[in-house]
Amino acid sequence: MYNFDFVKPKTLAEAAAAMAGDEAQALGGGQTLIPSLKARLASPTTLVSLGGIKEMVGVCTGDDGSTCIGGATTHGAVAKDAAKLYPALAKLAAGIGDPAVRNRGTIGGSLANNDPAACYPSAALASGATIVTNTRKIAADDYFQGMFTTALDAGEIVTEVRFPVPEKAAYIKFEQPASRFALTGVFVAKYKDGVRVAVTGASEGGVFRWKEAEAALSKDFSAKALAGLSASADGMITDLHGTAAYRAHLVGVLTRRAVEAAA
Amino acid sequence: MKVTMTVNGASRSGEVEGRTLLVNFLRDTLHLTGTHVGCDTSQCGACVVHVNGQAVKSCTMLAAEADGAEIKTVEGMANGDGSLSTIQQAFQDHHGLQCGFCTPGMVMSTAALLKENPKPTEAEVRHYLEGNICRCTGYHNIVKAVMAASGQDVSTIAAE
Ligand SMILES: Cc1cc2nc3c(=O)[nH]c(=O)nc-3n(C[C@H](O)[C@H](O)[C@H](O)COP(=O)(O)OP(=O)(O)OC[C@H]3O[C@@H](n4cnc5c(N)ncnc54)[C@H](O)[C@@H]3O)c2cc1C
Ligand code: FES
Ligand code: FES
């Protein structure tokens, strides 16, 4: 690992100022960034730890009833503290990695990284969440822009994520057994005005909405409504864990299971 | 930069670089070599310690991030008189280790599990220990040791 300066601001304002520096990078829980630094895939000159900023930690209910999660809240805290507010989201958080990863890794880090196999992006997209940064609010539909690519500008910090709470929802992950990331994962969320289905782990373009399934489920929220629908293997990931066709098949299976599990 | 943390009950300080990992500070500066580095890629859990009471992979946390924290390592697990703690004794009694390389992390993860869930089911034990890899035992005896440490009858589970 190349060396860097380490700073740990106490307020968001101080962090934003530190991030304005050339080659400064945010450090969330470090569960992705520290392995990348060890592999010399990243070489910031300054790491700005977000771990000391109290205003970025916690789970609460917003004025409009949405579940609001501070950008530096750990997966473990979401698993516990969002369990009553948004159970499917809490359950997703409880299934990320292992306990030690969940005790450090944060929602802001996961969404900023936008790993094509990560869990949280599917929850944010299926919920039509709002990603709040130190400078603006970004709708999930505009936020995810492809593998490891987001709408975030350099130095921008995810401070909070606001999830409208669905009537019913479930996330089903087909685990890649060694890494526990999603080989493919599907988040289904039913709102009063329609159903949203977001798929992670499958596409070379990162997380995406399966619009055909959304249309069918919005008319009839049942596994039956999905009969005859299949996701296209075009643009899906092929790697040693599974082919594009295999992943496309999983999308259908997991969507059905998610609808059945949705509570 | 200088960091100070409470390690197994005693205040310890030392100089670190920005990039110094918590596990390197524990092993190289404090000479607490009970905490192991098995993979260095955040996957094996041999390096698990408790930071403010929570299980954390010390190879995936900067020492600077632990400034001011309470740390507990496997060296802090034995009873006051030096005898093995209930968890450690159960690992010995049930052959929960062979080479012992993964054991410090297993013991620390087990302690975190039992604090949260004092009487876990076998399935809960296996799920909680997903991030701790053992190359020797095949896990059955580890699970058995954890169940025994929680005071449950293990005569009917997992072969030795
Ligand atoms: C063994 C293991 C298993 C895992 N399994 C899963 C899994 O099953 N599912 C899953 O989804 N993930 C998994 N992960 C990844 C884990 O969820 C990470 O915690 C997460 O991807 C990154 O969050 P972090 O807080 O650790 O971010 P960091 O590693 O600190 O940062 C990641 C990136 O985000 C940036 N960043 C961090 N916080 C912010 C912020 N608030 N605003 C803007 N940018 C920020 C950093 O600069 C960096 O570029 C796993 C990781 C490990 C080590
Ligand atoms: S050495 Fe830390 S997880 Fe393997
Ligand atoms: S006892 Fe050898 S790795 Fe677990």
Q: pLDDT tens digits for A120-156?
A: 999 999 999 999 999 999 999 999 999 999 999 999 9
Half-sphere exposure of A32 (CA within 13 A, CB side): 21
Tens digit of each residue's pLDDT (9 = 90 or more) over B29-46: 999 999 999 998 999 999
Residue A83 lies in a domain: no
Phi first, then psi, for residue A253 (nearest 5°) are -65, -45
Q: Residue-wise over B138-160: b if at least 16 C-beta within 10 A, else e?
A: ebbbbbbbbbbbbebebeeebee
Does pLDDT of A236 surpass 70?
Answer: yes
CATH number for the domain harbouring residue A34? 3.30.43.10
Residue A104 pLDDT level (bands cut at 50, 70, 90): very high
Using an 8 Å CB-CB cutoff, list chain A residues near B132: 98
Q: Do residues B144 and B110 lie in contact, with contact meaning Cβ atoms separated by under 8 Å?
A: no
- pLDDT for position A117: 96
Q: Distance between CA B49 and CA A202 in Å, rounded?
A: 35
Whether residues A100 and B57 touch (CB distance < 8 A) is answered with yes
- pLDDT for position B46: 98
Residue B159 pLDDT level (bands cut at 50, 70, 90): low
* Ligand 2 midpoint to CA B39 (Å): 5
Average pLDDT over residues B14-22: 98
- pLDDT for position B117: 97
Comparing A180 with A86, which gets the higher pLDDT? A86
Residue A15 lies in a domain: yes
CATH superfamily of B2-76: Beta-grasp domain (3.10.20.30)
Using an 8 Å CB-CB cutoff, list chain B residues near A6: 1, 18, 62, 64
* Ligand 1 midpoint to CA A138 (Å): 19
Residue A109 pLDDT level (bands cut at 50, 70, 90): very high
Q: Distance between CA A213 and CA A248 in Å, rounded?
A: 13
Looking at the complex, report in whole angstroms how far the Cα of residue A100 sits from the nearest Cα belonging to chain B.
5
Residue A117 lies in a domain: no
Alpha-carbon distance values, A119 to A54, A91, A123, A252, B28 (Å): 25, 11, 7, 17, 36
Q: Which two tokens stand for residue B36?
A: 């192991």
Using an 8 Å CB-CB cutoff, list chain A residues near B18: 3-6, 47
Q: How many C-beta atoms surround the C-beta of residue B63 within 10 A?
A: 25
Residue A155 lies in a domain: no
Transcribe A117-150 into DSSP letters. T-SHHHHHHHTT-EEEESS-EEEHHHHB-STT-B
Average pLDDT over residues B78-105: 97
Per the structure, the complete domain to which residue A16 belongs is given by 1-49
Average pLDDT over residues A232-256: 97
Residue A218 lies in a domain: yes
- ipTM for the predicted complex comes to 0.96
Whether residues B130 and A38 touch (CB distance < 8 A) is answered with no
Residue A118 lies in a domain: no
Q: Do residues A59 and A79 lie in contact, with contact meaning Cβ atoms separated by under 8 Å?
A: no
Q: Which of A101-105, A130-134, A175-179 bottoms out in mean pLDDT, i.e. has the lowest?
A: A175-179
Cβ neighbours of residue A205 closer than 8 Å, sequence gap 6 or more: A146, A147, A235
pTM over 0.80: yes
Residue A79 lies in a domain: no
Using an 8 Å CB-CB cutoff, list chain B residues near A101: 42, 57, 131
β partners of residue B49 = B56
Does pLDDT of B160 surpass 70?
Answer: no
| B60, closest residue in chain A (CA to CA) | A34
- pLDDT for position B158: 58
The answer for A 6-35 residues in CB contact with B (under 8 A) is: 6, 8, 27, 30-31, 34-35
**Domain B86-149 bears CATH identifier 1.10.150.120:** yes
**What are the boundaries of each domain within chain B?**
2-76, 86-149
Ligand 3 neighbourhood includes B136 CB (under 6 angstroms): yes
Number of domains present in the structure of chain A? 2
* Ligand 1 midpoint to CA A198 (Å): 19
- pLDDT for position B101: 98
Measured on CA atoms in the order A7, A110, A183, A100, is the torsion positive or negative?
positive
**Which of B36, B44, B47, B103 to mutate for ligand 3's pocket (most ligand atoms within 8 Å of CB)?**
B103
Q: Do residues B85 and B77 lie in contact, with contact meaning Cβ atoms separated by under 8 Å?
A: yes
Q: Do residues B144 and B158 lie in contact, with contact meaning Cβ atoms separated by under 8 Å?
A: yes
